Chains A and B, each alone.
Chain A
């Protein structure tokens, strides 16, 4: 337990995050890195990118509310201190993805209306299910919802986006590298801390399994909307921009159609959920496919 506490201490966070991979970055990337011209100059590509970035802000705002909201219901102070670092990580993610919206040309005065316009209702519903547990001060369900389901989803989505952006948009790929490192820490905490609590509270299992099934459904519905109504590939073709090869989970998503990419992402996230939930003693519930 002493090692676990040390690994999740603020001292360890300071050494591994601000004093390590965030060194020499500005809003998560190199100070001289910019969004590529082809993205800023093509209206369809720019709008699709704004739409995708809005979902990241919505997800991170939910994570910020959840991690800060869980601090006061944590049963011991070492968990509180870890959640304090997670709160700041999530706030950083909110800030850097908001900054990306500005970099893509969203005016500061239009931030909230842009988020309202593009926020996917299924993602909003996903967030509401989690925040309802947090509001009820249900620490065990809250941590599973936040650090296993939400962060697990974010981790896989960021990895996919990183693979797609690395060859064409080093600035955003660089931004995602830091968030991926953060999410890995958050998921690790969820797995390490929550297993023992589930064993102490077996009566919570059924409710948590229901929550996971419900959140997974809305996550898949969000993916479906994001990939099926996406004009990016058509816009790239029209502009004569060749898609770049991108390896994700052993397949080249750079040559796939959106529906195929959706399947790869959904299968990856659900497979990861299953593995992580089994580790903490929760039986994975297969969600309905939208």
Chain B
């Protein structure tokens, strides 16, 4: 798209680094690499090898319904967070995240249409996991309560880490189109998790009491997350011996912040 961002970005001093990575310009150059030549998240010439077995196909649709609820929660959360963002830089980053989450929702709904679902939004409401729906409610409560740290923790650390782990496991065994869609989403999630870790890392360093509050938020949300992981593993078809890896991958993301 535009002029490339310099490669030595990690050599920049911290404030300048944040200015770069939270900007529209950075987003613009990042997504170009993996979104150009795609339509609705995948290459237009990719042959659809989605499951022909009706049971497997229904499982895939249910999984996509859950992803849609997760992305809807992320879209609502990120857009709500703009109103309570502490400065222009974080507002701009969250705006790129809003567009990313909107895109994820769009490509997943489109994938469901490709799989023959006539009304994906209704199907999503009908099939999505109860734990995920509850997580969406809890996340919005934190955003509406204007609790910046807790909402960023729930959104950019817990939810994004959960999605990152599940999508990565699913991409390994998915049909080629679903795999391409998920790989594009995973690249976005990496940026979102990085923002959450950076934003909270600095705040936790300056005010350790925030850690106690966030640990409580994690305890309150953990049972929902574990429920979602279990549901997702079953629907995706992750072998039983790999399910623990999925939970571990999620935990590692969250524990990088010291929780």
| B252 at interface by CB-CB < 8 Å | no
What mask results when residues 66 to 107 of chain B are scored 1 for a CB within 8 Å of chain A, else 0? 000000100110011011000010011011101101110110
Tell me which residues across on chain B come within 8 A of A22, comparing CB atoms.
Answer: 1-2, 28
Min distance, Cβ A255 to any Cβ of chain B, angstroms: 37
Partner of A19, one of B36, B40, B83: B36
| A243 at interface by CB-CB < 8 Å | no
Tell me which residues across on chain A come within 8 A of B95, comparing CB atoms.
Answer: 64, 68, 87-88, 90-91
Partner of A77, one of B3, B72, B82, B140: B72
User: A98 vs B121: C-alpha distance in the bound complex, in angstroms?
Assistant: 38
Chain B binding surface, main DSSP class: helix
Tell me which residues across on chain B come within 8 A of A65, comparing CB atoms.
Answer: 82-83
| B35 at interface by CB-CB < 8 Å | yes
What mask results when residues 62 to 96 of chain A are scored 1 for a CB within 8 Å of chain B, else 0? 00110011011000110011011101101110110
Partner of B2, one of A11, A23, A77, A111: A23
Tell me which residues across on chain A come within 8 A of B91, comparing CB atoms.
Answer: 64, 91, 94
Min distance, Cβ A1 to any Cβ of chain B, angstroms: 13
| B12 at interface by CB-CB < 8 Å | no
Partner of A81, one of B31, B88, B94, B105: B105
User: A57 vs B83: C-alpha distance in the bound complex, in angstroms?
Assistant: 16
| B25 at interface by CB-CB < 8 Å | yes
Chain A residues bordering chain B, tally (CB within 8 A):
36
Q: Is the CB of B31 within 8 A of A18?
A: yes
| A27 at interface by CB-CB < 8 Å | yes
Q: Is the CB of B102 within 8 A of A85?
A: yes
Q: Is the CB of B25 within 8 A of A88?
A: no
Q: Is the CB of B79 within 8 A of A69?
A: yes
Min distance, Cβ B73 to any Cβ of chain A, angstroms: 11
User: A66 vs B28: C-alpha distance in the bound complex, in angstroms?
Assistant: 22
User: A83 vs B99: C-alpha distance in the bound complex, in angstroms?
Assistant: 9
| B39 at interface by CB-CB < 8 Å | yes
| B24 at interface by CB-CB < 8 Å | yes
Partner of B1, one of A9, A18, A85: A18
| A25 at interface by CB-CB < 8 Å | yes
Q: Is the CB of B79 within 8 A of A72?
A: yes
Q: Is the CB of A10 within 8 A of B99?
A: yes
| A14 at interface by CB-CB < 8 Å | yes
Q: Is the CB of A11 within 8 A of B75?
A: no
Q: Is the CB of B2 within 8 A of A72?
A: no
Partner of A91, one of B2, B40, B92, B121: B92
Tell me which residues across on chain B come within 8 A of A9, comparing CB atoms.
Answer: 106
Q: Is the CB of B99 within 8 A of A94?
A: no
Q: Is the CB of A85 within 8 A of B23?
A: no
User: A220 vs B80: C-alpha distance in the bound complex, in angstroms?
Assistant: 31
| A259 at interface by CB-CB < 8 Å | no
Q: Which B94-124 residues have a C-beta within 8 angstroms of A?
A: 94-96, 98-99, 101-103, 105-106, 109, 121
Min distance, Cβ B20 to any Cβ of chain A, angstroms: 12
Tell me which residues across on chain B come within 8 A of A111, comparing CB atoms.
Answer: 88
Q: Is the CB of B24 within 8 A of A68?
A: no
| A24 at interface by CB-CB < 8 Å | yes
Min distance, Cβ B128 to any Cβ of chain A, angstroms: 14
Tell me which residues across on chain B come within 8 A of A27, comparing CB atoms.
Answer: 25
20 A-B pairs within 8 Å (CB atoms) are namely A10-B102, A11-B40, A18-B28, A19-B36, A22-B28, A23-B1, A26-B2, A27-B25, A31-B3, A68-B83, A68-B94, A68-B95, A71-B98, A72-B76, A72-B79, A77-B72, A80-B75, A81-B102, A87-B95, A91-B91
Interface residues of B (CB under 8 A from A): 1-3, 23-25, 27-28, 31-32, 35-36, 39-40, 72, 75-76, 79-80, 82-83, 88, 91-92, 94-96, 98-99, 101-103, 105-106, 109, 121, 140
Closest 10 CB pairs of A and B: A84-B102, A91-B95, A88-B99, A71-B79, A68-B82, A92-B24, A68-B79, A81-B102, A91-B92, A10-B103
